[in-house]
Amino acid sequence: MELKKTFLKYFKIFLHLQKIGLMSRTAYRANFFIIIFAVLIQASFSLIFIKVVFGFLNNISGWNYYEALVIVATYLIVEGLMWVLFGQFNTIVKQIQQGELDGLIVRPIDTQFLVSVWRGDSEDIVRIITGLGVIVYALNNLNLTLTQITVNSFFYIFMLFNALVITYSLAVLFKTISIWTIEARAFFHLTDSFSRMSQYPTDIFYHKIVQTIATVIIPLFFMATVPAKILTRGFDLKIVLSSFIIAGVFFYISRKFFQFALTKYESASS
């Protein structure tokens, strides 16, 4: 009962902040629509890149064109969710620089939750829509039965969730460092680059050591390749379990790191 009450409280706060976010983003209406256009262009570049490369090849490391499209689409969906739900966790950087984090810490709500959902970029929903559209297109062109698509999609949703947790945890880990460094433009580029590089199949890493790094240390493998693999090639117990473990471990580490970093926070405003 208590848990349900807490969940509802946090959900209400989340919805309220999303509403405020949408209002502030649409305050400059022309700018809002221009950004939507820009996001669409950015998303289309990933697709054009794959189209051009596959204009010369039949497959990349065992992935055909439509399977590779599913990887790109998964990246677009995860990236879109990161922007819409958490604003890529960029709030913390700005709040620290302007000394505004104090205002969030003192509230009777979990600070990490509040920092995470403080800003959501609603225009990035077009990334998610584009990603979903590409998945439908790719699945239509892959040799899968309706039953296969249904079963695979069920597991895909879990893998997508894990990919989001991993991407979110990486953002928390890197951007929280700004508590020490204050200036942190590079951290935005860092997490953005990790996320962007997940749109290529991780089977391209033909050296064992690089493959291990891409699986365990910077888990690009689980950020787009794994969900796409499950959706296009079916359930694989080992991969699914690993995905849950990696997501759990990364979330735990990032949570602990955030809590530790807060104890070191020195307000820039006071």
Partner 1 sequence: MSKYLLIFYNSIQRSLIYRFNTFSLLFIQIFVFGVFFYLWSSIYREGGQIGNYSLGEMVTYYFLVIFLSLIIKADVAWRVGDEIRLGTMTTILLRPISYFGYTFSRLAGEIVFNTAVYFSSFLILFLFLKDYLNISLNLEQVSFFLVSVILGTAIYFLFFYMVGLSTFWFGFVWGFNFTMSMIVSFLEGAVIPLDLLPEFITRMSNFLPFKYIMFTPISIFTKRTELTLDLLIIPLVWVIALYFISLIMFKIGVKKYEGYGA
Site for partner 1, rule CB under 8 A: 28, 30-35, 37-38, 41-42, 45, 48-49, 52-53, 56-57, 60-61, 181, 183-187, 189-190, 193-194, 196-197, 200, 203-206, 210
Rounded Cα distance, 173 and 8, in Å? 27
For partner 1, the closer of residues 60 and 114 by Cβ is 60
For residue 26, give the amino acid letter. T
Q: Which residues make Cβ contacts (< 8 Å) with residue 241, sequence separation at least 6?
A: none
For partner 1, the closer of residues 53 and 253 by Cβ is 53
User: Which residue intervals of 26-64 are DSSP H helices?
Assistant: 29-54
Backbone angles phi, psi at 59, to 5 degrees: -155, 155
For partner 1, the closer of residues 44 and 150 by Cβ is 44
Q: Is 121 left (phi over 0), alpha (psi -120 to 50) or beta?
A: beta
For partner 1, the closer of residues 52 and 146 by Cβ is 52
CB of 33 to partner 1, least distance (A): 8
CA 28 from centre of chain:
26
CB of 115 to partner 1, least distance (A): 21
CB of 59 to partner 1, least distance (A): 8
CB of 47 to partner 1, least distance (A): 11
For partner 1, the closer of residues 115 and 184 by Cβ is 184
Nearest by Cα to 65 from 75, 45, 77, 50:
50
CB of 28 to partner 1, least distance (A): 5
